[in-house]
Amino acid sequence: MSMAFNEEQDELRKSVRRFLEQKSSSADVRRLMETDEGYDPAVWQQMAEQLGLQGLALPEEHGGSGFGFLEQIVVVEEMGRALLGAPYFSSVVLAGTALVESGDDAAQKDLLPGIADGSTIATLAWVENPSDWTVNGISATAKRSGDGYTIDGKKTLVLDGHTASLILVVAKADGGPSLFAIDASAAGLTRKKLDSLDMTRKLASLELSGTPARLIGSEGDAAGIMERTLRLAIVALAAEQVGAAQKCLEMSTEYAKLRVQFGRPIGSFQAIKHKCADMLLEVESARSAAYYAAWAAADGTDELPVVASLAKAYCSDAFASAATENIQIHGGIGFTWEHDAHLYYRRAKSSEQFLGSATTHRELLAQQLLAAESV
Amino acid sequence: MSMAFNEEQDELRKSVRRFLEQKSSSADVRRLMETDEGYDPAVWQQMAEQLGLQGLALPEEHGGSGFGFLEQIVVVEEMGRALLGAPYFSSVVLAGTALVESGDDAAQKDLLPGIADGSTIATLAWVENPSDWTVNGISATAKRSGDGYTIDGKKTLVLDGHTASLILVVAKADGGPSLFAIDASAAGLTRKKLDSLDMTRKLASLELSGTPARLIGSEGDAAGIMERTLRLAIVALAAEQVGAAQKCLEMSTEYAKLRVQFGRPIGSFQAIKHKCADMLLEVESARSAAYYAAWAAADGTDELPVVASLAKAYCSDAFASAATENIQIHGGIGFTWEHDAHLYYRRAKSSEQFLGSATTHRELLAQQLLAAESV
Amino acid sequence: MTTTADAALTNAGAVRDAVRAFLDENFDRDISLRTWLSRLVDSGWASPQWSTDWFGKGLSADLAAVAFDEFRKVKAPGPPAGLGRMLAAPTIIAHGSDEQKQQFVRRILTGEDAWCQLFSEPGAGSDLASLQTRAELDGDEYVVNGQKVWTSGALGADLGMLLARTDVDVPKHRGISYFAFEMDQPGVEVRPLKQITGDASFAEVFFTDARVPAANVIGELNGGWGTAMTTLMNERVGLGAGAGLNFPISAPAGRKIQDQLEVSVGDYIDKVSGGRSAQAGSAGRNMGLGALVAYAKKNGRDKDPGVRDQIARAYTLNQLLAWNGLRAKAAAKAGKGLGPEASLGKLMMSHVTRQNRETALAIVAGDAMLAGKDGPLGGSVASQVLFTPAPSIYGGSDQVQRNIIGERVLGLPKDPDISRDVPFRDLKVGTQSKAN
Amino acid sequence: MTTTADAALTNAGAVRDAVRAFLDENFDRDISLRTWLSRLVDSGWASPQWSTDWFGKGLSADLAAVAFDEFRKVKAPGPPAGLGRMLAAPTIIAHGSDEQKQQFVRRILTGEDAWCQLFSEPGAGSDLASLQTRAELDGDEYVVNGQKVWTSGALGADLGMLLARTDVDVPKHRGISYFAFEMDQPGVEVRPLKQITGDASFAEVFFTDARVPAANVIGELNGGWGTAMTTLMNERVGLGAGAGLNFPISAPAGRKIQDQLEVSVGDYIDKVSGGRSAQAGSAGRNMGLGALVAYAKKNGRDKDPGVRDQIARAYTLNQLLAWNGLRAKAAAKAGKGLGPEASLGKLMMSHVTRQNRETALAIVAGDAMLAGKDGPLGGSVASQVLFTPAPSIYGGSDQVQRNIIGERVLGLPKDPDISRDVPFRDLKVGTQSKAN
């Protein structure tokens, strides 16, 4: 396993960063976060048409470019850095991956091209209990109805659930937890936007009452699909956290060089200098964790379950720490609404819990280590 | 509840400190820690005769002075500061308290006077599993034999178990875990000194095979006796940790003022200064915890179970942190055998686990908080 | 300043009797709040820890606590709990002239004046002494120009504790004066400052040829740094939650709300009773642990071992903050007790606040992503998360407190301050290239 | 120094083929270890990352790893892994004259000389440049007086990398020279230094009119600080466990153990195989996580949620240390890769070590009170506890590493060093009143 990106991947990073510097400036982020939708449809289309980001890692036969997970990681890392307001994580990382992992050719043929070209905004709704990110304890039920199904139940913490046109929902059928596709205009679906701590990431709750749904894969498939999907999603989230943490480090270092107190830049004081040094070590270590997990995902190695949880746990902690210290190093100005420090802090404290806390993932890591013959 | 010691208690502290400065210098501590016994019988007798420390808090009717738990705390805090090598914790804090808590008048009458005047060195042997400090899971058994009992089983982590002349042992009788007294010369008792991380605190393991024993209290009493005894013992241990942590703070601060690097005392660098400041806050907070718990114990308030575990958990962490930072602040010289820093570090990392780790006591604290109606 | 004490009040019983006698004679639910406050101030019971010379009884903290306990029994309203009483009054008593004490302190206690603090500037945070706001003498007045930031209560304040530079040719600590500054004048503009919480409880204050009488300098001209130290020390005590000694209810303050002083004592008590506490510190923004534990139980989160550990940690730090305060108070003698040790409480509050946040997050788990009306506990978990970075910054950052603790409590040598002896006009400040 | 590379070795296949060809022709279990090392050194394969001019092949880290992989397959012994190869050789290659490179470096690789490092002094720890050991010119030799401390391997060493002061009238950094110093002489006394672990793996070294030829100055006279930086940077890489590139087995070194080089390669491999790894760093003192996890399972401690969390934390930090190293290596080009970034690995090692201790303690619980033969895992938990404070001190403390990272990686401004420009003779050093 080589621990470096190749030149094409570096080029991809450069072009994504350039695009986001233009389209997701601080002013853009702030404008979009005040809207209910949280994204700019024009920029969303440019992402698809100019850079092909939505379809980047989706299969070529379904409208994607067929690149691998490493390219996907480069993109989400840059989006994290820029705090891009867009339904990318929901539509591509969650829903897109779930469809790919479902192995349902027909559904992929019908649904992936829209996700790949950005014309469909999709999301994945599975959570009912905020402390359980698995599908083990869900209550939503799916009943056969004609040649389809109807679903009853409630879902929460649905990313972009109020704006998505396609919603993948996990519900219990006779065969166990199963994955379904629902059209946003379907009967019996009530969507409610929720106020979110991280205003750049929009959330909704759903109520389904006899809502018609299409089964993806077979009944009982959702446990496996979701396990594989979330394993990749936490690696993507870890990379997003690395991108944002890196930005916090840069903001802190820059300010520490510029801000003068007691006749010298505050970065010359050990209290600040050592904070920045610790932050660098944590950000670099987080990067190692996210990249190693990404390579494990790309190579499909057995290590993935262990290293994915390792990455999510460590990157959550590192980003939370970087975002918090960034405010501390900025002092008063870092506590003002006008400064961007709080946008990263909100993202950090929100994504720390999203898809399972560090504590949860360390427990998963321990489970797998202890189940192994030897460490 | 007044959060200050009275003048008599302050005087007691002064005289104990003066005594220990003379009798438990660094050279004394080092001499004794290299011996198997770990204490100086002459000093032990002086403690009893000149200061009455062994009997200080034991009942007057059994040879003690009848002072309260606050005086006991003052004494153990000073002993912790001086790393006194002596069987005080085993004989007085553990065995003495267990006898008092047993409510067994006859046993008290027979056994406490010797403990109070220092002629008896006693200890308490209950642990069989190093991760369980309760008596719930013990295997040692006591069988009736004539008008007494015989005990079979093994005990470990017995403080001064190889030097004590009186050993209180917890074993399962028909009525449940029960407390017994054993003479060190009893048949079927094999004692083995164990190498200890903290060389100033001696440990032994015991094997009992048909060893004759005297029941203290009634069968089945040990659960209650031990719960009450350990609750007081952890508060005493917390106070001992505060005394030792305070000494680490003083060593660090003194060295930080004296040691010059880069043309100025290292204490003028924020990296060192802020460490010392954090250490002071932790030591002072640990002191608040230990004293508050001591007052709760002295007043016999309902809070004791909560605040005793709180104190043990916090003081363990604070002392471990102070002892570790003390070595770090001293740098290379702090890593030499000749410097006393490691003696405190060994005590810290050992007493951190003794009577239950911080994690264990936070769990006990949570149990009690969550069992309460409201917090 | 020396403190003189009421010679009769030497023990708890005497204090209790004296308060009861005072209440019997003066406390009446039907009189106006204004009349009651006036009686309270004149009696010396409004601030019994202060010297008998200046509105007090000279009581130790322990005995003052006894007095407040008696007032609590009848829910007697006390003087306003804002920055006037917490910061301005003790500073003026310590450094002001007798005229200034008469002029300013009584009106603080009676609720006639509200005060704000005009210290921090965009370029002068941790290094407060590098402040750039200028005050230049013009006749018997000073003309003030510059900008302050992080001023709480600026809109309702009648007066401000203003630090301004009165000499730029001397090193930074030696050219600052401390003014009692009238806020209601044309040269003052107050702009609300939105914080990361979304609230705007602070403001920026801009001065353009604003004016303050030379007679309003508190302490020595150019000696404002020393005067300010008293204010800052009192602030640290307050922010460390060490200022718990108080009346159960406090009166409102300020010229703009004088009508509120006309209500009857009884009506006022009924209106605010069970509501606003007398505490002016920041602790009010920290979540109560009780609500979190109840939430954990209700949602089954109390079974999670990580959550249990977090609950124990939060309980521990909250108790230690309180116990440290109790120990400090027990050790303090009458008129004493304010010292660099206050920085320990201030620093501890930062730890407590962060721990409260982490415990809350562990309990609510994924719902931590929600805020406002959709957030757990009515959005108060999100509020806790957003408020948490504040205590380690305001009132002197954690780094500043550690310097104070290291240097002034432990006696460690100072970091060399290369700007200390440079004339202010040659100094680089904030993110600008030159101070002036 | 510029690195020249073997033009034929541009890809992994070519490297693999070349090593195999070399092995086919030269590797023989029946020849003496001395003969084998000599062939290896002459071929350039002993240290393939080094320049072709000086005993190397000029390979990138990636390609060198390929070469080592081939040597690993036949268990070929490599040159000694001690301080000579890790520190002295790269320093001499970077700063020494061609004569010095011929004189010293080859003998390091062939095991003829063992080296120790004579840098730290009682008064010069973090502030190494304040060292007081003097070297005064007497004819064509320098006379050395003073004391060093924390010298590892001093008893077996033939030569020492000695930093000594050659000019006291200039500021501290500008009056130091770097010597290749012969240890076996009357003026040198080595006293073992007992550490808190009870071991004495380090020594104090005292110089009384000891002698070193002027020709043994490495780099410029009075320019020893710059030379020492190369040594320190290599040390940080080693201590951060970033030096993993190596042969599977390493040869012994030193004039006192030359007979050990006469054994056959085959016998040597059989003797040490499966034993000593080539790694010279400190990682050897950190416990393996595998043994701890097995112990936890055996004793039912793996059911404890706190223990599980600690196991996950230890696994995480150990993996990150390794992955950080892999990433640094992947990024490094041939002949590069040593830089201030090495301080990150050094600092990480302190975290890993502390975490390993805490995980071990959580698992063994009360048995942590026991040590030696009675301690858990044969006393290795107690050893881990006692060793843990070391990595954050030796080879530059955590505080020094954070300064380096802040200043040299992140570009933050330096702390003012008030002693930097003071002539050394006027300086206060350590806990003494004056440097000289």
Q: CA nearest C289 in B: which residue? A: B375
Subunit contact C327:B3, Cβ cutoff 8 A: yes
Average pLDDT over residues C338-360: 90
Q: DSSP labels for B156-188? A: EEEETTTT-SEEEEEEEETTEEEEEEEETT-TT
Contact predicate C103/C71, CB 8 Å: no
Subunit contact D430:B130, Cβ cutoff 8 A: no
Residue A307 has pLDDT above 50, yes or no: yes
Average pLDDT over residues A317-346: 97
Q: What is the pLDDT of residues D180-234, one digit of tens each?
A: 999 999 999 999 999 999 998 899 999 999 999 999 999 999 999 999 999 998 8
Residue D75 has pLDDT above 60, yes or no: yes
* Chain D residues in contact with B259 (beta carbon < 8 A): 430-431
From C59-63, C74-78, D319-323, the region with the lowest mean pLDDT: C59-63
Contacts of C412 (CB under 8 A, 6+ apart): B253, B256, B257, B265, B267, B268, B272, B273, B276, C406
* Chain D residues in contact with C418 (beta carbon < 8 A): 416
Per-residue three-class SS string for chain C: CCCCCCCCCCCHHHHHHHHHHHHHHHCCCCCEHHHHHHHHHHHCCCCCCCCCCCCCCCCCHHHHHHHHHHHHHCCCEECCCCHHHHHHHHHHHHHCCHHHHHHHHHHHHCCCCCEEEECCECCECCCHHHCCCEEEEECCEEEEEEEEEEEECCCCCCEEEEEEECCCCCEHHHCEEEEEEECCCCCEEEEEECECCCCCCEEEEEEEEEEEEHHHECCCCCEHHHHHHHHHHHHHHHHCCCCCCCCCEECCCCHHHHHHHHCEHHHHHHHHCCCCCCCCCCHHHCCCHHHHHHHHHHCCHHHCHHHHHHHHHHHHHHHHHHHHHHHHHHHCCCCCCCCCCHHHHHHHHHHHHHHHHHHHHHHHHHHHHECHHHCHHHHHHHHHHHHCCCCCCCCCCHHHHHHHHHHHHCCCCCCCCCCCCCEHHHCCCECCCCCC
Helix-helix angle B270-299:C342-364, to 10 degrees: 80
The pLDDT of residue C242: 54
Of the candidates C70, C121, C182, C235, the residue annotated as catalytic is: C235
Helix-helix angle B341-351:B304-330, to 10 degrees: 150
Subunit contact A197:C150, Cβ cutoff 8 A: no
The pLDDT of residue A77: 98
Question: What gap in Å lies between CA A325 and CA A345, rounded to an integer?
Answer: 9
The pLDDT of residue D6: 80
Q: What is the pLDDT of residues C294-337, one digit of tens each?
A: 999 999 999 999 999 999 999 999 999 999 988 887 776 434 45
Q: What is the mean pLDDT of chain D?
A: 90
DSSP-based three-state secondary structure for D54: coil
Question: What gap in Å lies between CA D73 and CA D67, rounded to an integer?
Answer: 10
Q: CA nearest C365 in A: which residue? A: A131
Of the candidates D70, D112, D121, D235, the residue annotated as catalytic is: D235
Model confidence at D330, pLDDT cuts 50, 70, 90, reads confident
Q: CA nearest B354 in D: which residue? A: D366
Nearest to B198 by CA among D363, D368, D200: D368
Instruction: Give the residue from A261, A270, A273 with the most B CB atoms within 10 Å of its CB, the best one to mutate.
Output: A270
From B322-326, C65-69, C106-110, the region with the lowest mean pLDDT: C65-69
Average pLDDT over residues A10-32: 97
Nearest to A160 by CA among A40, A37, A24: A37
Q: What is the pLDDT of residues D121-178, one digit of tens each?
A: 999 988 999 999 999 999 999 999 999 999 999 999 999 999 999 999 999 999 999 9
Question: What gap in Å lies between CA C240 and CA C301, rounded to an integer?
Answer: 31
Residue C112 has pLDDT above 90, yes or no: yes
Residue A158 has pLDDT above 70, yes or no: yes
Nearest to D358 by CA among D297, D306, D395: D306
Cα atoms in the 13 Å half-sphere on the side-chain side of A191: 25
Q: Which two tokens stand for residue B269?
A: 């660098």
Share of chain D above pLDDT 70, in %: 92
* Chain C residues in contact with B374 (beta carbon < 8 A): 290, 293-294
CB-CB neighbours of A49 under 10 Å: 12
Angle at D184 between CA D183 and CA D186, to 5 degrees: 105
The pLDDT of residue D273: 60
Q: ipTM > 0.90? A: yes
Subunit contact D308:A370, Cβ cutoff 8 A: yes
* Chain A residues in contact with B270 (beta carbon < 8 A): 269-271, 274
The pLDDT of residue C277: 40
Helix-helix angle D305-331:C305-331, to 10 degrees: 100
Helix-helix angle C33-43:C265-272, to 10 degrees: 100
Size of interface A-B (CB pairs under 8 A): 10
Distance from CA of A274 to the nearest CA of D (A): 5
Model confidence at C339, pLDDT cuts 50, 70, 90, reads low
DSSP-based three-state secondary structure for B192: strand
Subunit contact D361:B357, Cβ cutoff 8 A: yes
Subunit contact D389:B353, Cβ cutoff 8 A: no
Residues of chain B with pLDDT under 70: 1-2
Nearest to A180 by CA among A237, A126, A243: A126
Average pLDDT over residues A213-225: 98
Q: Which of left, alpha, beta for C83 (phi over 0: left; psi -120 to 50: alpha)?
A: alpha
Share of chain A above pLDDT 90, in %: 97
* Chain A residues in contact with D403 (beta carbon < 8 A): 270, 273-274, 277
Element (H, E) at B123: strand B122-125
The pLDDT of residue B88: 98
Q: Measured over all CA atoms, what is the biggest interatomic distance in chain C, rounded to whole angstroms? A: 72
Residue D275 has pLDDT above 50, yes or no: no
From B251-255, C198-202, C207-211, C273-277, the region with the lowest mean pLDDT: C273-277
Q: What is the mean pLDDT of chain C?
A: 90
Question: What gap in Å lies between CA B40 and CA A167, rounded to an integer?
Answer: 78
DSSP single-letter state for residue B151:
E
Model confidence at C431, pLDDT cuts 50, 70, 90, reads low
Q: CA nearest D311 in A: which residue? A: A366
Q: Is D235 a catalytic residue?
A: yes
The pLDDT of residue A15: 97
Subunit contact B194:D370, Cβ cutoff 8 A: yes
